[in-house]
Amino acid sequence: MKKVIAIILTVILCAAGITACAAESYSDGENVMVSGVDDGARLIIAEYNEGGRLVGCKMYKPENGVITAPDTSDTVSVKTFLWNMDTLEPINVTNTDTEDDVKMNVQIGDAVFTATLEDNAAVGEFIEMMKASPVTIEMSDYSGFEKVGSLGRSLTTSNSQMTTDAGDIVLYNGNQIVMFYGSNSWSYTKLGHIDDLTGWRETLGSGGITAVFSLAE
């Protein structure tokens, strides 16, 4: 998680003591995403030329609680505002981009494995789910190399063709979580990888499992 995306808020937010709904911003290198917003939120991106003159201003609406906009911060000077159009108040934003790896626990029975998460929109949305409560998924075996189960909702995909390794955790078809104990070549959105595979294959076994996903402290 390398890039820092600046969310610029007006000083009115602090001066007036406004407590707005919390949102989190992150970037996958191509898009800026802000999660945890309601339907009334708008992401306003103002672009300036080298002389400091405003050359463009665009407004983006949320979809399923996430606003996605092109990341133009590498090419132009940009100021970004998150605004509640219903209350006409700014929305407080926490930037989740950090140099530190984000860890997730995967519990199967009494065994707990730690995974390092990727930096993409799907992971950001999955993190929001885990913050609310641990995510429990019933998973079944498929083709002798993976466990797969429905997340119950769709996440934002950034699929790419890959060959998975044991320990990889990916998103398939937008709403299926897949954990590999073998290898497969397909188009997935990678979510993370198990740090220590000791006992991983034995714990997954050959039948169905219940996996509980939570943020590591």
pLDDT of amino acid 64 = 80
- Report residue 16: phi and psi, to 5°: -90, -10
- Residue 110 vs residues 25, 203, 209: alpha-carbon distances, Å: 34, 9, 12
Better-scored residue on pLDDT, 209 or 41: 209
User: Of the given ranges (30-34, 131-135, 139-143, 148-152), which has the lowest mean pLDDT?
Assistant: 30-34
Kindly state the percentage of the chain with pLDDT values over 70: 76
Alpha-carbon distance of 66 to 155, in angstroms, equals 10
Task: Quickly state the pLDDT bin for 6 (edges 50, 70, 90).
Answer: very low
pLDDT of amino acid 8 = 35
Q: Give the Cβ contact number of residue 53 at 10 Å.
A: 9
The encoded tokens of residue 164 equal: 């998975």
Q: Is the pTM of this model over 0.75?
A: no
Task: Report yes or no: 28 and 121 within 8 Å, Cβ to Cβ.
Answer: yes
Domains of the chain (ranges; CATH) run: 12-95 (2.60.40), 103-215 (2.40.100.20)
pLDDT of amino acid 93 = 56
Task: Quickly state the pLDDT bin for 20 (edges 50, 70, 90).
Answer: very low
Q: For residue range 143-196, list pLDDT tens digits in order.
A: 999 999 999 999 999 999 999 999 999 999 999 999 999 999 999 999 999 999
CA distance from start to end of the chain: 18
Alpha-carbon distance of 122 to 103, in angstroms, equals 15
In a 10 Å sphere around its CB, with 0-12 CB exposed, 13-18 middle and 19+ buried, how is residue 153 labelled? exposed
Nearby residues of 87 by Cβ (< 8 Å), 6 or more positions away: 20, 40
The pLDDT mean for the chain works out to 80
Q: For residue range 52-111, list pLDDT tens digits in order.
A: 677 778 888 888 878 888 776 555 566 777 777 777 777 655 554 444 688 999 999 999
